[in-house]
Amino acid sequence: MNYLSGGVNSPIPIPKNFPNNIIAGEGPYVIDKNGQKYIDMWMGYGALLFGHADKEIIQTTSKCLKNGWFFSYQTKIEKDFSSVLHDLIPCAERVRFATTGSDAVAYAIRAARAYTSRDMVLSVVGGYHGVHEAMIASEGIAFKNKPDLVHFNNTKESIKAIKTKKYACMILEPIMANSGCTPPLPGYLQALRKACDETNTVLIFDEVVTGFRINLGGAQKKYGVTPDLSTFSKAIACGLPLSVVCGKVSILDKFIPTGNVFFAGTFNAHPLSLAVGTLVIEMLRDGKIHSRITKLGNRLRSFISNSINKYDLNACVQGTDSMLTVAFGCKDFVHGISNEKFNQKTYDIFVKKMAERKILFPPLPTETVFLSPVHEAVIEKIEKAFDEVFLEIKNL
C-alpha cells in the first residue's frame, strides 16, 4: 500500500509505464526492485552531475560520517567553502548557505526587498523559483504577492517593466530549465543588467540548475554578466541538500547579525553537503568534465536534430552545454516552451516509447534532460532509441 499523499512527493504524477519502486542507482542507470535497469536522462533534476553512486562521492561522505556529521557550532569547512565560492563565482562578495533552492530564493528576495525598500518582484513567464509564497500562486497561500511577469528573451518588454522603478528585484534563470531548456539571446542578459543598474533594481540570477553544471562560476561566468545576487543548489553538492545565496556585500550584510533580515535553518551549511561540494569543485577544476559533457550534449542535440529532419517531424531540440529539451509541435521556443505552441500528446507518446526501451525522459515537456559523463557509455543506445521512436511517431 502506498500511503504517500497523492502517491508521490512531487506535483508530477508517475507515468504508468515508469518504474515506481527504484531501490538503487549505478552510473547512468536507476534500478528497480526487480533488478531492471533504466537509463536515466533526468539525473536528479540536474543535480547528479557525475551520475548515480559516484565512488569518490561515496568515499567522501563515508569519511565525513566517521568524523561526525552535524554540529550546532560554526565549522571550519563552511568558512573554507565560502572562500572558494568567493573566488569562483563572479557575484560572490559574500556567501550564505541554506538547504534547498526554494530557501535560497526566498532569502534572496527578502534581502532585495530590505535593500531597496520596495516590495514587488519581476520575473519571467514559465520561470520556476521554488515553492515559497513569494514566487508561486496556490491555494492555501495567505499573502497574494505573486510576481509580475514578462517574457524571457523579450528585452523590450523587460526593460519597460524595470524602468517603472517599482520592483525590488528581477529574478530569472539565466538559462531557463523549467520551461524547456532556453538559452538567452545575445545581449539579453546584458540589457537586463544595464536596466537594473539604472533603476536600483536588484538583479537576481537563479542558478539553482545552472550553478556548477554549466561552469564552476555558473552561467554568469559563461555569459559574462554579473548579477547582484545569485542562488545555487542541485549540482553544487550532487544531490545532497545544499543551497547558496551569494552576492554584493551591501545586500548580503542585510542579514542578521549585521542587518535586520532574518535568515536561519537547522541544516544550513550541513558539513556532509559541504564536504561533497568541496569534492565537486576539485573534480571540476581542470575543466575536463565540463568539456566532456558539453561535447556529449552537442553530439546528442545534433543527432536528434538530424533525425527530426530525416523524418520531417514538427519538432525541435534546444539547449546548451549538457542540457537539452525535445519539443513537438514547434520549431523553437525562444521564450520558453510554455509560451509557444507545442504538442503535449505527442510528447507523452515519445516518453512512453522511450520508457519501453528502458530509457527514462522527464515526464513533462517543460522539463530538461541533463547529461553526465556516465552517459558516454550508453550514448549509442540512446541515439538508436531516438531514431526508432521518431520513425514510429512519423508513422502514427
- Mean pLDDT computed over every residue of the chain: 93
Q: What pLDDT, in 10s, does the model give residues 93-127?
A: 999 999 999 999 999 999 999 999 999 999 999 98
| Per-residue pLDDT band at 8 (split at 50, 70, 90) | confident
pLDDT over threshold 60, residue 24? yes
In this prediction the pTM is 0.95
Phi first, then psi, for residue 88 (nearest 5°) are -90, -40
Pair 50, 374: CB distance under 8 Å: yes
Q: How far is CA 36 from CA 136, 187, 358, 362, 363, in A?
A: 37, 47, 9, 19, 19
**φ and ψ at 155, to 5 degrees?**
-65, -45
3-state secondary structure 136-181: CCCCCCCCCCCCEEECCCCHHHHHHHHCCCCEEEEEECCCECCCCC
- Please compute the mean of the pLDDT values over residues 281-298 and round it to a whole number: 97
Residue 72 makes CB contacts below 8 A (sequence gap 6+) with none
Angle (CA) 219 225 226, round 5°: 95
Element (H, E) at 31: strand 29-32
For helices 188-199 and 155-162, give the axis angle rounded to 10 degrees.
10
- What single letter denotes the amino acid at residue 213? R
Q: What is the pLDDT of residues 202-221, one digit of tens each?
A: 999 999 999 999 999 999 99
Rg, C-alpha atoms of the chain: 21
Which domains are assigned to the chain? 5-53+287-394 (3.90.1150.10), 57-284 (3.40.640.10)
